[in-house]
Amino acid sequence: METELITNYLLGKAKHFFKPACNKLRHPFIVPGEGYMNELWGWDSYWVACSLRSMFARFGDRFMEEHGIRRDDAVLHMKGSVLDFLDSQSDDGSIPSMLAEEGIFQDFFTDEIKKGHKHNQHAPFLCQATLGAAMFTGDFGWFDAEKLIRYLEYYQQNQYDGKSGLFFWQNDIMIGIDNNPTVFCRPPRSSADIFLNCFIYLEYLALVQILKAKGDSRAIRIGSEAEKLKRAINEEMWDERDGIYYSQDISFHHTNCSAGGVKLHSGMPPHWKSMPLKIRIWACFLPMYAGICSAEHAERMCTHLTADDSFLAKYGIRTLASNEKMYCLQNSRGNPSNWLGPVWTVANYCVYQGLKKYGKTELSKEVARRTVALMENSLERYGDLFESYHPDSGKPFMHPGFLSFNMLVSEMM
């Protein structure tokens, strides 16, 4: 399925990811693609680095250098993206979800912290980004692991629900999947999102590997936290009736009302720890990507991809199932980007990898084939790659020159 058209495009554009150090961003860093200013985005830089490492493994150093991408430069920017975030850590351990030297987000999160406003910190990809760069170079000495521990401790202290054992978003700002209806415009601190919890689990696993490589015995404790979260995801988020994982509402409101000296609603308080938000988004499949679910659960989840076309469209995975009431293929005019059905390559990639992990070879190949067809169609008809696409027509939505997640197609060809 290797296509020269896609490969040449990606290799020709990849050098535009690299930005030099500038003022507050003291280390070279990675941006999502052409046209981006001096902005460092957490999960974009993570996926780009993953794709670059995959391309070096497949093509080799010499081939990559012939196309203007030197290993040393890639390493410098992978490490720099991590170090810039670690440099920005606040006294409480939190790290901003993005850093900007200019534009509307310049100093935004720093100013918000000073005002006492608690937004979501860095999306759960920083330990994985650190581990990826360290393994790529065989060097585990260039970063401070204490900062990674404090960053995860911030999640535990500020975005963790002890009752359900799940993590939640503070609000709907910088959640990655911009208008995910299980979080978007919902009450603050109420959404235990499947996306957030699966990737925090992977953050724990990455930190375990980092600490083991450094000979740090705290890897055992972090490993137990990972197992505890895995159990909570399976106990609270799996829906036995529907055969899929759902995000959960963890908000509870107890009415304070008495009649004749009797406190109402006190005789039988709720025994459940969370309430399912039964909305089928692409992230419902992430327990397969993260290796959290059982083979039996994976088997049942696959029926959501094969029973009809509510998820699997001509060009890949709809980010929201087409039979959900919020399904919408409108082209957003700005923030938030639309994740209510359009195809995003990162969703295709995660579902593809999850299927591979659970031995669903033919179905994973089909997702890959449709993703490659989407990228080829985009390049042939429009001469560029874009942020997201219409799942049935392949019509692009927003931001020509957006590489970021689209780079992941390199692993799917």
Each residue of 228-268: pLDDT tens digit? 999 999 999 999 999 999 999 999 877 888 888 888 888 88
How many C-beta atoms surround the C-beta of residue 57 within 10 A? 10
Pull the structure tokens for residue 284.
């419902």
pLDDT at residue 321 above 60?
yes
pLDDT at 2 (0 to 100): 58
pLDDT at residue 399 above 90?
no
Please give the mean pLDDT across all residues of the chain. Answer: 94
Q: What is the mean pLDDT of residues 296-325?
A: 97
pLDDT at 401 (0 to 100): 86
Each residue of 209-220: pLDDT tens digit? 999 999 999 999
- At 347 the three-state DSSP class reads helix
pLDDT at 15 (0 to 100): 79
pLDDT at residue 341 above 70?
yes
pLDDT at residue 329 above 60?
yes
Percent of the chain surpassing pLDDT 70: 100
Each residue of 73-83: pLDDT tens digit? 999 999 999 99
pLDDT at residue 279 above 70?
yes
Each residue of 14-36: pLDDT tens digit? 878 899 999 889 999 999 887 77
Distance CA 148, CA 145 (A): 5
pLDDT at residue 388 above 90?
yes
pLDDT at 142 (0 to 100): 98
- Of 292, 318, 301, which is closest to residue 198 (Cα–Cα)? 292
Q: What is the mean pLDDT of residues 130-139?
A: 97
Each residue of 99-118: pLDDT tens digit? 988 878 877 877 777 787 77
* Band (334; pLDDT cuts 50, 70, 90): confident
pLDDT at residue 343 above 90?
yes
Distance CA 142, CA 162 (A): 34
Residue 366, H or E segment: helix 361-382
pLDDT at 302 (0 to 100): 98
Among the residues of 235-388, which ranges form H helices? 286-289, 295-306, 345-357, 361-382
Unique residue bearing structure tokens 């030197």: 70
pLDDT at 37 (0 to 100): 77
- Residue partners of 30: CB distance under 8 A and separation at least 6: 17, 18, 19, 40, 44, 45, 48, 49, 77, 78, 80, 81
Predicted structure pTM score: 0.96
pLDDT at residue 139 above 90?
yes
pLDDT at 1 (0 to 100): 56
Pull the structure tokens for residue 102.
């200019």
pLDDT at residue 180 above 80?
yes
* Band (365; pLDDT cuts 50, 70, 90): very high
